[in-house]
Structures are given as structure tokens and as C-alpha cells.
Amino acid sequence: MTGRTVLILGGGWGGLTAAHHLRSLLPDEHRVVVVERSDTFTLGVSHMWLMTGEREALGDVTREMQNLKRPGIEWIRADAQRIDPDTRTVETDDGPLMGDYLVIALGAQLAPETVPGFSDAAHNLYDPAGAEELGKALQAFDRGRIVVLVAGAPFRCPAAPYEAAMLAEWLTRERGIRDRCSVSLFTPEAKPMAVAGPAVGDALEEMLGERGIDYHPEHKVTAIEPESKTLQFGEESVSFDLLIGVPPHRAPAIVAEAGLVDAMGYVPVHPQRLEILSDPDTLETRYPHVYAIGDVTAVRLLNSMLLPKAGVFAEGEAQIVASAIAADILGEPAPRGYDGNGFCYVEVGDGLAAHGSGDFYAYPGPRVRLEAPSTQSRKAKEEYEVLLETWFD
């Protein structure tokens, strides 16, 4: 058999999961190539622990891409500049690359510059360096108003801003300054994690209320004034002393320039097969042997909402796509499709986390259950960090 090349654009959680799964399924004559412009991999789930000081430095949660330990996974450090899905060719700043199969795992890019004042005023929770600086700022914080701001939706890891608010509140109690501090959360969402259903949203609102956190849904920020430390929500002004920000997200420009995005600005894919759709209503697909996974995608659920952007879904999609590619190369039956099951851990402080899980492909909408916070769930969340040791030397 002539060796085939699988080209994976993006070396994040989804991209590296696909690469490792493919390498375990395919004989050595087939190439597994990861194209990633960053020379480091960061586990996003660890940002919360940089914030709380449980991880002291970036080196605790990042690894060098050159230290990928699995033989047979090629990492090409390059910036993808143009995608031709018809020929599965990618133009990069290091030259063109072509694959027999193409997996687009480029994620959702942060766009703090789209909100005036965000970069100057906010500690960016979704940036590793920003999370590290936030940890230092919280340790130095003595009194005043802490605000968690969601500056746009959709955003990856839908639980993160709610976790950040509860962890910030917990830290003020730990340091004995709770009576001198307030914690508020502003978001354009109508309900916390609305896609998971009203019961989950109600439970999260209750958790916020129990901790004395002021919750302000349906607030879309229009500008931030760094000097006066104020947020603008249209005509409404809100002051802050320390700002924790979730920046707007958007798909990388090259997927839009390739004509791959829908009206939401993300790549619509078949919910089971993760192939790019030409018609979301009929689920007709285009571009044979081209797939998209993870945060760059838009998966429309049966209630017309979108599958959340979260690592657990990127991981599950990556495994399905890798199995499908390997089966096609090896002439084996196609595997089952992606089932839409997912879970997450919502940290609430005090060494506790709530475990949420369910079927997001259920009819008429996702069926998700959020369990009471426990130490076991907090420990289970930490186990994600084993990937750093499993994937890297």
C-alpha cells in the first residue's frame, strides 16, 4: 500500500488527539503531520489554577511542541495562510503542504482588540500569560469590586467565567478580605450555559447567589475605559477595581477566506461525521476527505442551538475523525459517528467542583445533569493534566 499523508491544521487539544489516535491506528508508512505555528502547547483547563496560584508559572501548564514523545507524529512549525479544500493543499509561510486527508483543527481565535479598552484594562482569562498575571493581581488585591466580564459569545469552555467568579470569591474568603470585596459577573448570555438546559442554568445561578456574587445576564459590553475603570453597556456604566475578561472569539481568517464558514462565522459540519456541510438543512457534505473538528466548527443541535466549544467535544470529534480516516485508508468498515455526549467540571472553590454530563444530541434538546460539587470531581478535573506527561517528554 502506498503511504498516505494526513494533514492536521492546528496543534491544540483536538489536533493532537487526532494525531495520537491516528498514529495508534495506522502503519508507519502513513504520515501524520501536525501544522502548528506556536512552539508550545498549553492545556486550557489549567488556566484556572494559574489564576488561583495552584500552578505557579506558565511552565507548569505548557510544553514544547518539539518535545512530542510519540514517534511518527511530525510537527511542522508554520503559519497556515491559505486553504484549498478541493485539493487539500495548505499554503504556509514555510511553503505549500498537501495531504490525502485534511483535518482542520484551528480552534477559535481570541479577538480582544474588537472591544475598545479590553486589552489595556482586562486580565485575559483565556490567555496563558493573562491567567498567570491574573493570579498575581488577585494575590495583591486588597479591597474593591472584582468583575468577571464575558465580552462576546459564543466562547470556548462555557463554564469558565462562572468558575472564575466563584474562584475569585473563594480566594477573597481564603485571604480574609471577603468583607471588603464584591464579585460581579456580566455576560451577554440570557442564562448560564443555556445550551445545557434551564435546570443547569438555574443550578449555576443558585451557586452564584449562595456565594454573594452579583449576576447580570444580557449585558453586552460596548467599551471599556481603562483610566476610569468603567465598563460601558450602551448607556449604562459600571465601575470595577479588578477586571477578569473573557474576550470575543472568532474563527481564523483563513477558513473564512476559503469560503468554509456559515453566517455565524464558523465551519458548519455534519454532526456525526464532522465533514464540512454544503447544506445544513439536508446535511449534504462537500470536499471528500476534508474534516473540521473542535472550536472552529458550528454543530447545529436539534433545538437549533450550537454544540458548546469545549475540549471534551474536540477530543471526541478527533477520535471519530481519526477512526474514519484510518478505516478508509485500511479498507475497513466505517466507524460509528460522533454521539454528542459530553461532560465538564465546574469549579466552585473550596476544593470542590460540580460534574455535569449528558447527551447534547438528544431530542428535542440536550439532556444534561449537573451534580452537586464534590472533592472527587475536583480531583477528576486535575487528571486532565496527565496529557502533558502522556504527549510530551
pTM above 0.85, yes or no: yes
* E strand or H helix at 381: helix 375-382
Q: Provide mean pLDDT across the span 145-150.
A: 98
Q: Provide mean pLDDT across the span 320-337.
A: 96
* E strand or H helix at 235: none
At 110 the pLDDT is 96
Q: Provide mean pLDDT across the span 140-150.
A: 97
Summarize pLDDT for 156-182 with one digit per residue, the tens: 999 999 999 999 999 999 999 999 999
Cα separation of 156 and 384, whole Å?
A: 17
Summarize pLDDT for 266-288 with one digit per residue, the tens: 999 999 999 999 998 899 999 99
Cα separation of 354 and 176, whole Å?
A: 25
Q: ω into residue 71 within 30 of 0, thus cis? A: no
Is the predicted pLDDT of residue 2 greater than 90, yes or no? no
Radius of gyration of the chain (CA): 21
The average confidence (pLDDT) of the chain is 96
Cα separation of 74 and 351, whole Å?
A: 39
Query: 249 Cβ partners below 8 Å, 6+ apart?
Result: 108, 109, 110, 111, 152, 154, 155, 156, 295, 309
Summarize pLDDT for 208-259 with one digit per residue, the tens: 999 999 999 999 999 999 999 999 999 999 999 999 999 999 999 999 999 9
Cα separation of 14 and 105, whole Å?
A: 6
Residue among 248, 249, 192, 251 nearest 221 (CA): 248
Which residues on neighbouring strands pair with residue 109, listed in sequence order? 250
Q: Provide mean pLDDT across the span 290-314.
A: 96
At 38 the pLDDT is 96
Q: Provide mean pLDDT across the span 91-100.
A: 96
Residue 212 DSSP code? T
Cα separation of 150 and 233, whole Å?
A: 12
Is the predicted pLDDT of residue 1 greater than 70, yes or no? no
Is the predicted pLDDT of residue 308 greater than 80, yes or no? yes
Scan for cell 460596548, then name that residue. 222
- What are the percentages of helix, strand and coil residues in the chain, rounded to 5? 30, 30, 40
Cα separation of 254 and 232, whole Å?
A: 32
Q: Provide mean pLDDT across the span 332-354.
A: 96
Is the predicted pLDDT of residue 198 greater than 90, yes or no? yes
Q: Provide mean pLDDT across the span 111-124.
A: 97
At 254 the pLDDT is 97
At 44 the pLDDT is 87
Residue among 134, 120, 110, 127 nearest 244 (CA): 134
Query: What structural domains and CATH numbers belong to the chain?
Result: 5-37+77-108+251-338 (3.50.50.60), 115-248 (3.50.50.60)
